[in-house]
Chain A
């Protein structure tokens, strides 16, 4: 009988399993393939050649990268989830469900009842590669990460949808001194949440569950998180031996129908397919020849700081520190800008230790010879470093970068900085930062991204970058987020692309991502005449050249591109005229100690995760807070219209002026209810219902409903509704009222007055996806508030049929509701007038936060309003000023009521010198792809800055802070005041 062979070629590894005719495993092996998929498979088979020579074998290939090999080698293929199911059925009978995590895929199989198999969608990275990326971020190996996690004390909420999001959550925790142990466990919890939330889609995960795949086989901490989250005991959580080879095992099991072939034939087919390359989608080369490289290098060597002899220099010096997201940079300069000493290194997950060590060395280096007059710090870790080491000045990165760029090109009008984690682009107009673009959490195809790939393919970053420079056929990898890029690389590997072409392709992807996705530029002139590029990523010559080629213009790239933040900070320290010379001296540095403890602020529902840093001598610094309450201060007292509206809406519950005799009516406080609540509350209480509101949104509430979310790419505000409705059911209300509303109020502003499709129809999605709703009176009827007269009749019929309410009573209630709604809008507008008057009396800036009504939910905006007010700004909302300009035709189809309000509020802001606007956009909001460009046009035409903040379930405000501070710095600079 022929031996059965299963070959599983995944995104990072090859597994081979041999079975005899009794299905007894004879041999299994597991190895990384470093993108050489076909070679690795053939290699593994050669190792068992002595056993198989001269025999017939039955073979099936499986796995995400196996498909290509199968096609090229003409060996049959079986889908890996299917194969896994076969193996589990055979070897672990009685299984109810399988959870398998692989390198880049996550899978769930449900047995029992109907068999269901599911894989993660294309935007879901909570898998093995994700864990590897996170380990890299913490500067540990995956096994070390596992060890760390076992000693955790707390779990931080980390966005679980996709690796890139999680990264932007973890980075700030790290930079603020969070414990690695806690972060490690939080990373695993994120993987669990992603798997359970993203893949179960309403089906219960209960009974005997088998865990498979590499990460689950090796990582105890990850297993613990699963077991705890799913509340499993030892009998119901099965972690089989060889959990990493089940797909290969299953493939071997499925070979019964495959025609046998001689083992030598199998090897021959694999070997022959190695030669075959089917690369079709390639780009022009980065450099055509060595000569081009030389010219290029000579040109860029010119932008260098003044030379200085550091070892003999005596005199004054200025220190700049850039505590970036993944790296820490220090620069010590002479008053002329010459570099005396510099440091660039990974912050290894703990910037404090790095900076301490460097400062000690720096103090020793300076001795009596060099006098550090003043110091400045910028970057993610600014607050922490400033407090820890008594740095004189803290400044926002954008300002630091502009200061540095100006030193090399005084005419600079456009700066792009691509660092490890983020991309910053800004225009300079009249000597001030004018327009700031930061990459969204979803597109950070930046430096650390290339690095992660370099490592995965077995190269160090510098070597990897050089590999691609002279490649003549760079692979076209698209220009999207990391997750997509992963699968593009996978596809390229499948097609036989070499590591050189992939390296070149990745560099070009980063460039395209920056130009088309972040900057949104179509031509070089959209950027500027004098472009300065900086950030560590531009030290990669392939990226630099790619950028020049793509925009068709030569740019300035200072030789110290990776140090520009620190260099700018040092220059700003030199310019600084405040209290200087506070930097800890050598003795103080010697005595320096640092302890970080996690904590939680309970002052309000934001429940900020705090990190309490204690330094020597009992000095304390608390980070993670959004307002000054945990620091012993008062909540910002500046007028905050978002909070005002929120508080007012929360009062709209109970019986109102009615008797409540018709029973309780539950309303979920989410999405458009934030707009319509004043209306429905008035109507329902007038009809003597008692209105029961679902509680304020929290992360826990979200998790309560997470299992019933069918689409993991829908916006966070929509996802929250599942928890709200679950809670209403728990409260035992008599009925739940959540009508479908494709149309919004007709405010006569635009071409139409729609709601977005998600707002419009989400009630129906809840009905069909939340099984418990079957046992509740749930009303998702279509209502149109845009036709008041018809509504009287339609609502009349509805309340008569469902509750026996006499029609005339409903007619009166509807009229009353329209009045109540109108009164509420007037009230908000009146409050805005008071805010504006207050601001003008106290000479404060007014910030209009333009978004959707539901963006006032603190769980959705993550306390962003408090943060804004803590900077001394007065905050009002778009719906409080949009009536102050007359309607005007737009260049886009202006058909959504909420959009129309935003456009009009932006137009009004354009007429007010003391107002600025930021736009909030929920991640995944497709229709805001239209409004954002239009908002930018409106504001820029009026000479205003455009700032967009994308929000999701990410709870950290680090990037939001940069934007808001940059905005403040830029407006103040424009007003001629000193920069912040």
Chain B
């Protein structure tokens, strides 16, 4: 074990010595994108392992160490990390854990603290926890998100979104099973190879590369059969993570549907946009607002490359820029609605409906506070404004059963099919 160093508040630090000898464990959320992220962090000289576990033991571990009323994602993320520590696969004296921290007014900001409490409860108080955040919270001498890493992570996220967006439109229809996933892997490998050389980053490089990706996916031969596209929106973890949503995408595929999952880029833009809106609503530092504006503009530029790339292949459903999403939500929620997924959740539902995908699964952990308003709370108004909208709200929870969830989704799908039949 490395020497344990604590800061003034008694927080265990991740030291430079640990950087050399420790393995950082990272919880899974978005398989394609997180695989890219993992590689980027490895390039910075850290030993990182992305956890791909998905079994009941994770939930049981979570229930044991986390307050059972805490939201389900916390229980899963912490359960996954502690289960891994206890699995015997790693030397518990040579690991550290990574977790993201957002800092909003939702309980998600407390994950890292709940994780430390859980570690203490499990007798693992010596395992350091590293916060991944962009707010400058919790600094560690042995870990930093340097400018280089950030400048790589943002493009990686966008590549990830692009791959997921295209793959989702091919997978349900591929003539030869496995073609789509093989292409995703091929591109992931190629992107990583480029990252290693410091290539494929920045607008100028990304634009042609993303067009090449889109062209490649367009080559996959598809059956042309008709399937029901179904949007998936909701609390970010249960929306994306198969562990969190009982493998929702697989279920939808098995039901002859095409899952449509809005990406991560808009979420990041949303979080940055919140800072700008905060100043507009309540007053505050002009400088901070300006800085956030610059960062937002940079990401929006990269997002535009992605949108153009998708548009270059007319067979694919297009994407809209963040600004359009934001404009669409006017009249529903204010831009100050920023906790959790806030107005973005409603905006994504509206955009899906506009894109001709009125059938939507709105996912949230049981008792998710922001979604009472931005998720469940908006369904009535959406139904009034868009009678074709067909949204089912599904709660995820350690005790909720898959059969109950699937039966409710099936009801939504039955309505969807009827609507498709009646002109």
How many interface residues does A have (CB within 8 Å)? Answer: 86
B374 contacts the other chain (CB 8 A): yes
Which residues of A758-809 are within 8 A (CB) of B?
A: 758, 760-762, 764-765, 768-769, 780-784, 786-787, 789-791, 793-794
| Given A79-B410, A82-B414, A769-B381, residue A752 in contact with residue B67 (CB < 8 A) | no
A743 contacts the other chain (CB 8 A): yes
Contact between chains at A718 and B67 (CB < 8 Å): no
| Given A119-B411, A769-B377, A784-B281, residue A930 in contact with residue B107 (CB < 8 A) | yes
Q: Which residue of A lies closest to B406 (CB)?
A: A67
A324 contacts the other chain (CB 8 A): no
* Other-chain contact of A123, B109, B366, B410 (Cβ < 8 Å): B366
* Other-chain contact of B407, A67, A755, A762 (Cβ < 8 Å): A67
A786: chain B residues within 8 A (beta carbon): 282
* Other-chain contact of A79, B103, B284, B407 (Cβ < 8 Å): B407
Q: Which residue of A lies closest to B274 (CB)?
A: A742
Q: Which residue of B lies closest to A477 (CB)?
A: B399
Q: Which residue of A lies closest to B112 (CB)?
A: A893
Q: Which residue of B lies closest to A892 (CB)?
A: B113
Contact between chains at B411 and A478 (CB < 8 Å): no
Contact between chains at A491 and B401 (CB < 8 Å): yes
A932 contacts the other chain (CB 8 A): yes
Cβ distance B416 to chain A, nearest Cβ, rounded Å = 10
Q: Which residue of B lies closest to A520 (CB)?
A: B67
Contact between chains at A761 and B117 (CB < 8 Å): no
A896 contacts the other chain (CB 8 A): yes
Contact between chains at B403 and A926 (CB < 8 Å): no
Listed stretches A151-159, A482-490, A852-860; interface member:
A482-490
B105-137 Cβ-contact flags toward A at 8 Å (1 or 0): 111011011101100011000000000000000
B225 contacts the other chain (CB 8 A): no
Q: Which residue of B lies closest to A490 (CB)?
A: B403
B71 contacts the other chain (CB 8 A): yes
B337: chain A residues within 8 A (beta carbon): 740, 742, 760-761, 764
Contact between chains at A79 and B336 (CB < 8 Å): no
Cβ distance A581 to chain B, nearest Cβ, rounded Å = 48
A858-878 Cβ-contact flags toward B at 8 Å (1 or 0): 000000000000000000000
Contact between chains at B395 and A760 (CB < 8 Å): no
A932: chain B residues within 8 A (beta carbon): 67
| Given A516-B68, A758-B373, A761-B333, residue A117 in contact with residue B415 (CB < 8 A) | yes
Q: What CA separation (Å) do A790 and B413 show in the bound complex?
A: 49
Contact between chains at B282 and A67 (CB < 8 Å): no
Contact between chains at B380 and A768 (CB < 8 Å): yes
Q: What CA separation (Å) do A764 and B408 show in the bound complex?
A: 27
Contact between chains at B56 and A476 (CB < 8 Å): yes
Contact between chains at B107 and A927 (CB < 8 Å): yes
A202 contacts the other chain (CB 8 A): yes
A281 contacts the other chain (CB 8 A): yes
B339 contacts the other chain (CB 8 A): yes
| Given A487-B403, A896-B105, A926-B107, residue A787 in contact with residue B63 (CB < 8 A) | no
A522 contacts the other chain (CB 8 A): yes
Contact between chains at A754 and B105 (CB < 8 Å): yes
A696 contacts the other chain (CB 8 A): no
B69: chain A residues within 8 A (beta carbon): 926, 928-929
Listed stretches A17-25, A91-99, A163-171, A706-714; interface member:
A706-714
| Given A752-B105, A782-B336, A895-B109, residue A516 in contact with residue B282 (CB < 8 A) | no
Q: What CA separation (Å) do A490 and B401 show in the bound complex?
A: 9
A81 contacts the other chain (CB 8 A): yes
* Other-chain contact of A714, B63, B372, B383, B402 (Cβ < 8 Å): B372
Contact between chains at A710 and B122 (CB < 8 Å): no
B295: chain A residues within 8 A (beta carbon): none
Q: Which residue of B lies closest to A479 (CB)?
A: B63
B378 contacts the other chain (CB 8 A): yes
Q: What CA separation (Å) do A82 and B71 show in the bound complex?
A: 32
B152 contacts the other chain (CB 8 A): no
Cβ distance A475 to chain B, nearest Cβ, rounded Å = 12
Cβ distance A712 to chain B, nearest Cβ, rounded Å = 9
Which residues of A910-946 are within 8 A (CB) of B?
A: 924, 926-930, 932-933
B418 contacts the other chain (CB 8 A): yes
Contact between chains at B121 and A522 (CB < 8 Å): yes
* Other-chain contact of B332, A115, A476, A711, A768 (Cβ < 8 Å): A768
Cβ distance A872 to chain B, nearest Cβ, rounded Å = 33
B306 contacts the other chain (CB 8 A): no
Q: What CA separation (Å) do A790 and B278 show in the bound complex?
A: 12
Q: What CA separation (Å) do A122 and B376 show in the bound complex?
A: 14
Contact between chains at A122 and B366 (CB < 8 Å): yes
* Other-chain contact of A121, B117, B339, B393, B407 (Cβ < 8 Å): B393
Which residues of A650-664 are within 8 A (CB) of B?
A: none
Contact between chains at B121 and A756 (CB < 8 Å): no
Q: Which residue of B lies closest to A890 (CB)?
A: B113
Q: What CA separation (Å) do A511 and B397 show in the bound complex?
A: 19
Contact between chains at A893 and B109 (CB < 8 Å): yes
Contact between chains at B415 and A756 (CB < 8 Å): no
Cβ distance A105 to chain B, nearest Cβ, rounded Å = 8
B404 contacts the other chain (CB 8 A): yes
Contact between chains at A782 and B281 (CB < 8 Å): yes
Q: What CA separation (Å) do A371 and B393 show in the bound complex?
A: 65
B369 contacts the other chain (CB 8 A): yes
Which residues of B59-92 are within 8 A (CB) of A?
A: 63-65, 67-71
Q: What CA separation (Å) do A484 and B67 show in the bound complex?
A: 18
Cβ distance B138 to chain A, nearest Cβ, rounded Å = 10
A714: chain B residues within 8 A (beta carbon): 372
Which residues of B314-372 are within 8 A (CB) of A?
A: 332-334, 336-340, 366-370, 372
B224 contacts the other chain (CB 8 A): no
A742: chain B residues within 8 A (beta carbon): 105, 336-339
A512-550 Cβ-contact flags toward B at 8 Å (1 or 0): 100011001010000000000000000000000000000
Contact between chains at A930 and B114 (CB < 8 Å): yes
A179 contacts the other chain (CB 8 A): no
A190-224 Cβ-contact flags toward B at 8 Å (1 or 0): 00000000000111000000000000000000000
Contact between chains at A764 and B334 (CB < 8 Å): yes
Cβ distance B422 to chain A, nearest Cβ, rounded Å = 10
Contact between chains at A122 and B397 (CB < 8 Å): yes
Q: What CA separation (Å) do A789 and B283 show in the bound complex?
A: 9
Which residues of A113-133 are within 8 A (CB) of B?
A: 113-117, 119, 121-123
Q: Which residue of B lies closest to A792 (CB)?
A: B283
Contact between chains at A710 and B282 (CB < 8 Å): no
Q: What CA separation (Å) do A478 and B403 show in the bound complex?
A: 14
Contact between chains at B109 and A761 (CB < 8 Å): no
Contact between chains at B339 and A757 (CB < 8 Å): yes
A488: chain B residues within 8 A (beta carbon): 399, 401
A562 contacts the other chain (CB 8 A): no
Q: What CA separation (Å) do A479 and B400 show in the bound complex?
A: 10
Q: What CA separation (Å) do A714 and B369 show in the bound complex?
A: 7
Contact between chains at B403 and A491 (CB < 8 Å): yes
B387 contacts the other chain (CB 8 A): yes
A787: chain B residues within 8 A (beta carbon): 282-284
Contact between chains at A201 and B380 (CB < 8 Å): yes
| Top 5 A-B residue pairs of the complex, sorted by shortest distance between their CB atoms | A790-B283, A480-B399, A784-B282, A484-B399, A754-B105
Instruction: Write the residues of chain B forming the contact surface with A, with a CB cutoff of 8 angstroms.
Output: 9, 56, 63-65, 67-71, 103, 105-107, 109-110, 112-114, 116-117, 121-122, 281-284, 332-334, 336-340, 366-370, 372-374, 376-381, 383, 387-388, 393, 395, 397-408, 410-411, 413-415, 418
Instruction: Write the residues of chain A forming the contact surface with B, with a CB cutoff of 8 angstroms.
Output: 64, 67-68, 77-82, 113-117, 119, 121-123, 201-203, 281, 476, 478-481, 484-485, 487-488, 490-491, 494, 512, 516-517, 520, 522, 710-711, 713-714, 718, 740, 742-743, 752, 754-758, 760-762, 764-765, 768-769, 780-784, 786-787, 789-791, 793-794, 889, 891-893, 895-896, 924, 926-930, 932-933
A-B contact pairs, 5 of them (CB 8 A): A481-B399, A488-B399, A522-B64, A710-B377, A926-B369
| Given pairs A487-B403, A768-B381, A787-B284, 8 additional interface contacts (CB within 8 A) | A114-B383, A710-B377, A710-B379, A711-B376, A742-B337, A743-B282, A764-B332, A769-B381
